[in-house]
């Protein structure tokens, strides 16, 4: 009679069964691979739709993706387009800094003070309802067609939207956690660092990412209306020449740059700041 290993159910793994760590790692790799595959399929679907439109519409209206890629490559090799990208990025950084600074001041003031909330509420509502084009044209008329007007014109339409996001986030802070921290005799600095900051940080980061997406569109719009350089100016210039290949090439390059900033740089910052969060599981 040969000896056989007997393993009771639930007591230990049987011989040859994979370790729990290996199983978890395989599931994680499988999930990541599935996500990447879905993203690749999404991009391929967009390119296919682009090819479909280029087949239906005239080439002067909708050139094919490979045609736009050739035009973009020539522009990148020539080097002139990079100067306009740098100019637009500089305006984006300055306009975003201005808009975010004002929005944080307004959002915190309205979230912490009922008086400030009542006073600035009308301002924020007017800022949201006023068309961006009217604000930009008004700033150009008052300040002039210069760099200051371009930065203020790109920042001002975004301030009200960001202020509402931050304002609502400040009002949503859990007061019971603050009271519990006080009951344990936590100091003011400790409360801000360990209780308030973790609740505000996701709101500020989400507002930053949302604001950055709005700012770069506003900057291109401002450049189209009143500047003689930048990606927005070049898009408007080639549009006047009815050269859709150049229009799409300039728009695509700037889109790639902003996607890199949004996905890579801000994505890495989010992972670093919120690495304390538990991993979210999707059904």
* 38 is a domain residue: yes
Residues 114 and 49 in one domain: no
The structural domain count of the chain equals 2
* 6 is a domain residue: no
Contact between 68 and 249 under an 8 Å Cβ cutoff? The reply is: yes
* 22 is a domain residue: no
Per residue in 184-243, pLDDT tens? Answer: 777 777 776 677 777 777 788 888 888 888 898 898 889 888 788 888 888 888 888 888
* 189 is a domain residue: yes
Distances from the Cα of 140 to the Cα of 15, 75, 133, 151, 274, angstroms? 77, 31, 11, 11, 41
Residues 107 and 39 in one domain: no
d(CA 85, CA 253): 9
- Residues spanned by the domain of 166: 65-273
How many CA atoms are closer than 13 Å to the CA of 74, on its beta-carbon side? 8
pLDDT: is 154 or 177 the higher one? 154
* 129 is a domain residue: yes
Phi, psi at 31, each rounded to 5°? -65, -45
pLDDT: is 280 or 193 the higher one? 193
Residues 45 and 108 in one domain: no
pTM: 0.74
User: What integer pLDDT is reported at residue 90 of this predicted model?
Assistant: 92
Please, what is the angle between helix 114-129 and helix 147-171, to 10°? 130
Distances from the Cα of 147 to the Cα of 89, 231, 239, angstroms? 13, 15, 23
- Joined tokens for residue 167: 């304002």
Residues 31 and 83 in one domain: no
Residues 80 and 203 in one domain: yes
Residues 148 and 242 in one domain: yes
* 162 is a domain residue: yes
Residues 149 and 263 in one domain: yes
Residues 112 and 154 in one domain: yes
* 200 is a domain residue: yes
* 4 is a domain residue: no
Distances from the Cα of 239 to the Cα of 187, 210, 243, angstroms? 60, 28, 6
Contact between 65 and 44 under an 8 Å Cβ cutoff? The reply is: no
Residues 41 and 92 in one domain: no
Q: Domain of 258: which CATH number?
A: 1.10.3720.10
Which span out of 9-13, 67-71, 199-203 was modeled with the highest average pLDDT? Answer: 67-71
Residues 78 and 190 in one domain: yes
Q: Smallest Cα–Cα separation from 96: which of 218, 229, 3?
A: 218
User: What integer pLDDT is reported at residue 95 of this predicted model?
Assistant: 92
d(CA 103, CA 249): 34
Mean pLDDT of the 30-59 span: 81
Per residue in 79-127, pLDDT tens? Answer: 788 888 899 899 999 999 999 999 988 888 888 788 888 888 888 888 8
Residues 101 and 215 in one domain: yes
């Amino acid at each position: 009679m040969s000896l056989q290993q007997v393993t009771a159910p639930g007591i230990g793994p049987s011989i040859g069964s994979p370790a729990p760590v290996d199983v978890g790692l395989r599931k994680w790799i499988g999930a990541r691979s599935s996500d990447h595959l879905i993203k690749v399929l999404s991009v391929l679907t967009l390119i296919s739709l682009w090819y479909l439109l280029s087949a239906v519409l005239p080439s002067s209206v909708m050139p094919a993706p490979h045609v736009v890629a050739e035009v973009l490559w020539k522009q990148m090799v020539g080097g002139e387009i990079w100067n306009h990208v740098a100019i637009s990025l500089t305006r984006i950084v300055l306009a975003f800094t201005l808009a975010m600074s004002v929005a944080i001041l307004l959002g915190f003031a309205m979230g912490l003070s009922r008086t400030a909330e009542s006073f600035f509420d009308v301002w924020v509502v007017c800022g949201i309802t006023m068309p961006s084009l009217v604000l930009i044209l008004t700033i150009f008329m008052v300040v002039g067609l210069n760099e200051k007007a371009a930065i203020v014109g790109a920042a001002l339409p975004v301030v009200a939207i960001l202020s509402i996001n931050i304002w609502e986030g400040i009002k949503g802070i859990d007061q019971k956690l603050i009271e519990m921290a006080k009951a344990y005799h936590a100091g003011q600095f400790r409360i801000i660092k360990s209780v308030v900051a973790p609740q505000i940080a996701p709101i500020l980061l989400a507002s930053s990412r949302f604001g950055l997406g709005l700012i770069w569109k506003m900057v291109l719009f401002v450049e189209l209306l009143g500047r003689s350089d930048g990606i927005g100016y070049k898009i408007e210039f080639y549009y006047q020449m009815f050269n859709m290949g150049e229009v799409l090439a300039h728009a695509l390059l700037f889109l790639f740059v902003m996607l890199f900033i949004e996905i890579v740089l801000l994505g890495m910052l989010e992972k670093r700041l919120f690495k304390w969060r538990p991993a979210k599981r999707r059904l």
